Amino acid sequence: MTGEPLLSVRDLRTFFVTDRGVLRAVDGVSFDLYAGETFGIVGESGSGKSVTCRSLIGLLPSPPAHTTGTVRFGGRNLVGLPMSEMQKVRGAQISMIFQDPMSSLNPVMSVGDQIAEAMEAHTSLNRAERRKAAIELMRSVGIPLAGRRAGAYPHEFSGGMRQRVLIAIALACRPKILLADEPTTALDVTIQDQILSLLLSLRDEFGMSIILVSHDLGVIAETCTRVAVMYGGQIVEMTDTETLLTHPRHPYTVGLLRSLPGTETGSRYLTPIPGAPPSLIDPPPGCRFYERCSLRTDQCRDWPAELLTVGQNHLARCLRHEHVEEIA
Amino acid sequence: MAVEVADPGAAMVARIAGGTARRRRRRLRNWPLLAGAILLGLVALACLAAPVLANHDPLTQDLLNPAAPPFSPGHLLGTDAPYGRDVLSRLLYAGRIDLLIGFGGTGVTVIVGSFIGLLAGYYGGRIDSVLMRIVDVFFAFPFLVLVLAIVAMLGPSLLNIFIAIWAVSWVSYARIIRGETLVAKKQEYVLAARALGYSDLRVMLRHILPNVFSAALIFSMADAVGNILLGSALGYLGAGVPPPTPEWGSMIADGETFMVTAWWVPTIPGLAIVIVGVALSLLGDGLADLLRPNA
Amino acid sequence: MGRFGFVGRRLVQMVPVAIGITIIAFFLIHLIPGDPVVVILGSHYTTAGAAHLRAALGLDKPLWTQYLYFMGNLLHGNLGDSIYYEQPVLNVVLDRVEATLWLVVYAALLAALIAVPLAIYAALHRDGVVDQIIRGTFMVTLAMPSFWVGIIFILVLSVSLHLFPVTGFGDNLVDHLWHLFLPALTIALGFTAVLIRSLRNSILTVLRADYVDTARAKGLPWRLIMRRHVLRNALLSTVTIFGVNIAFLIGSTVIVENVFAVGGVGQLLVSAIQQRDYAVVQGITLLFALFVVAINLLVDVIYAVLDPRVSYD
């Protein structure tokens, strides 16, 4: 990686206070994001990947969520930033798109107005100029007949088109970072590819970095240069994509790879990982994957489960990482 | 040998959980249910025991002692004006009428309305359209107005009040249960029952009804409040149970003229209505919490 | 076609309901035990008058024919004659309709004025002390009979404090507003509880919506998000609430008119009952129901205009 990271996350923790106790959704996440790269976060539901994203720009309601740690961006820590400052960052410097395009747009506002609105808080363009810019944005995200369709309402668009609108909204102010939380999960398989290529080409065109969150390792593999695998609120492995796919060093990653249909591991049957993710309310001390791990030993139980450097730019939270290749 | 595993997040847990421990004080889970039931029970018991609790005959006039304020000797709640009748006794006896209207009105309409709703929802199609059209027609009339009109035509009496309420109020239940049935009939347990060849009646009564009835039960509380308000409104307007039978609404009307000099005469019966209404609402909330906790 | 077709289709859908309403109203008279002509004419009974009424109602004909007579009259605006006022029912009603309409609209506006800010506050500070107080207060208000509340208002605000007149309708615009304030408030109190509950729920649902997250991620100030995204969607459902509750509102108005002697249709209804003026009772019942249907149509149209998702086809 060249130069200073654009975004630097250290010891990010987001805990929720619930009736049943404190839920440790994100428990000590650290990573860097560099300019122009696409960084993937992959994990199953409940692994904390979405919460991580939202914590970066403080989108979680503050009770019941509490966030600590450092998110270094533009020379300051975003965690604990007063809301007025955070609102200046959101949309202008860091944007986010969400999972479900069907419900992510206001049903009673026209699409053009919603895109124009994104510029309202951050630019000094007047209404007409914003409108024009919105139409231009609709064109660059590939919505046909943009001029005519700007006045249309979200329900008149298909899922894929709505996601394009949401991308247009996110990119309206040329942010430096785009957070994409499962952007293709709710879409048809055929549309997924279109949206992903759109994201990549826009990344190059606008010169931004993308953090792509997904449970689908296939999506990550296609689009990201570096990946972090999350489990139980923690990063369990982090390295560049190719290394992850070919030389994983954490048993959970192996399990993920194996559950992908038609990967190079060549199995014809989907092999799920037995067991269930740990409760995040009272997580086990030590390795959280212990219960489901086929490589576990007694040593693992007492081990404080830190992230170890297992290669060049390759971290893994596993005591027995050298043996992972045996089960890969 | 167990090793102390360092947990950097533990400090944070302690910090944020500590602040909210206060809020997680043991709150009696479903206090509305309990409070409502007790309150209603007390009122109903008191009214039922009117002959025992009332120390005066509700109709006896005492023209030497009109408009006596509460806590007068022998008259805990005073006497009314200008007749000097004991307010407490009248209150208790009147309560019987009003509670009867509330429960009697609701009791019948719950069953009839729910059954009609069940039929409409289950069979769908033509039957549903016709039944729901009829329901729509009834809903166009303000209930009070229609009940007033029916009682006016039939003549004021307790029975006619019941008839009017029964004729009109069943529609609410029909609508609610029909909606619930439409959802229920797509559930797997219904499909299973039908696949087993159970008769329609059996599926409706023994499989769907127990599941959808909670909605009717919860609504019946609000309906009972409505019926009591309806009955007392009829009494107030002079179109209800004919005098001299005491009824909370007519007591309020009687006392209205003397509002300034004997404020307790119209005020106390109103309070009784409010207390019963609140009790029923609490009961309804409690039931809703109990039967449909995720709603 | 579009919008006009929409309204047209709605009107057509209303026809069966309207017919059903007339059927029920028709049957009201036939509930009267005994000879309806004798009972209707009461103390005004004359043999000639009785014969005339019998012919007018077609009482010697089969039931369905009587209904046709009834419908025929109705379509000519003939709702029968008031025995007491010795005028057509329609005239008697129309004389008093202004006060009632004023009261209904006034009450609805007051209720909205009170309910909207309270519901917003309650939703935003969910389960806080104020929220619970609001909900608790209105649970009690819902149980209060409107006539009782009205009497207490009169006692406290009119008689003791001389802030408002006790009865009547007033002579000009400002006078109307002043005279009708207490009655409108009394009606509104019952309605506000329903409004607050449903609006609060609506807001809470919208607050959880994904598009609110999208708006926040744009970096918009919270006030703007509330106005353009949350409220615009939450208030949409409130429109239908008014439609659904108009019948309830009318019922309350009837009661309150009698408490405050406003001189509207509601007061007429009750006095007609006392005077055994059955044609008036029947006529008012019918008219109220038709009014409710008309309002519901209006509400449907307004909603369709406000919500772009409603298709006119």
Measured between beta carbons, the chain B residues lying within 8 angstroms of C278 are 152-153
Percent of chain B having pLDDT more than 70?
Answer: 93
CA dihedral B79, B82, B83, B84 (to 10 degrees): 20
> Higher pLDDT residue, A310 or B141?
B141
Give the distance from residue A15's alpha carbon to the nearest chain B alpha carbon, in angstroms: 8
Q: How far is C134 from chain A (nearest CA, A)?
A: 22
Q: What is the ipTM of this complex?
A: 0.90
What is the mean pLDDT of the segment spanning C18-40? Answer: 86
- The pLDDT averaged over each successive group of 10 residues in chain B (295 residues) is 58 71 55 87 87 79 79 81 84 92 94 93 91 94 95 92 95 94 87 84 84 90 94 93 89 88 90 94 89 68
Q: What CATH number labels A35-57+78-93+177-328? A: 3.40.50.300
- Name the pairing type of β-strands A308-311 and A76-77: unpaired
A194-224, pLDDT tens digit by residue? 999 999 999 998 889 999 999 988 899 989 9
Whole-angstrom CA distances from C312 to A163, C10, C219, C301 are 26, 11, 35, 10
Interface of C with B in 72-131 (CB under 8 A): none
Specify the pLDDT at position B231.
Answer: 94
pLDDT at residue C108, rounded to an integer: 93
- The ranges assigned to domains in chain A are 35-57+78-93+177-328, 100-174
Least confident piece of the model among A273-277, B9-13, B20-24, C51-55:
B20-24
Chain A neighbors of B24, CB-CB under 8 A:
19
Least confident piece of the model among A18-22, A104-108, B61-65, B98-102: B61-65
HSE-CB at B13 with a 13 A cutoff on CA atoms is 18
Q: CA dist C266 to B186, C142, C286, Å?
A: 45, 21, 13
* Burial environment of residue B1 by CB neighbours within 10 A (0 to 12, 13 to 18, 19 or more): exposed
CA distance A148 to B79: 78
What is the distance in angstroms between the Cα of B15 and the nearest Cα belonging to chain A?
A: 10
Out of B139, B153, B249, the one facing C28 most closely (by C-beta) is B153
Per DSSP, C85 falls in state: T
Q: Which of A232, A235, A263 is nearest to A250 (CA)?
A: A235
Element (H, E) at A94: strand A94-97
B200 touches chain C (CB under 8 A): no
CA angle A202, A206, A208 (to 5 degrees): 90
pLDDT at C55: 76
Instruction: Give the best residue of A14, A15, A29, A307 to mutate against chain B (max B CB count within 10 A).
Output: A15
Q: Which residue from C234, C313, C243, C213 is spatially nearest to A108, judged by alpha carbons?
A: C234
Distance of CA A209 to the CA centre of its chain: 12
The structural domains of chain B, with segments of one domain joined by +, span 32-55+62-291
Q: Which amino acid is at A273?
A: I
Chains in contact with C via at least 3 Cβ–Cβ pairs below 8 Å = A, B
Q: Tell if the CB–CB gap between C219 and A92 is shorter than 8 Å.
A: yes
pTM of the model: 0.84
How much is the average pLDDT of C186-194?
91
**pLDDT of B8-34, one tens digit each?**
777 788 777 765 554 444 456 778 888
The per-residue pLDDT for range B197-232, each reduced to its tens digit, is 888 888 888 888 888 898 999 999 999 999 999 999
- Touching check for B9 and chain A: CB below 8 Å? yes
DSSP code of A292? Answer: G
For residue C21, give the nearest of B137, B148, B278 by CB distance.
B137
- CB contact set of C224 (below 8 Å; sequence gap of 6+): A120, A121
The listed CATH number (1.10.3720.10, 3.40.50.300, 3.30.70.3340, 3.30.750.24) that belongs to domain B32-55+62-291: 1.10.3720.10
Touching A (3+ Cβ pairs <8 A), the chains are: B, C
**Unique residue bearing structure tokens 């949409």:** C236
Searching chain A, which residue's CA lies closest to the CA of residue C228?
Answer: A109
Closest CA of chain A from B271, distance in Å:
38
Distance, in Å, from the CA atom of B177 to the CA atom of B188, rounded to the nearest integer, reads: 18
Residues of chain C with pLDDT > 90: what percent? 47
Average pLDDT over chain A reads: 88
3-class state of residue A142 by DSSP: coil
Residue B103's closest CA among B149, B32, B154, B41? B41
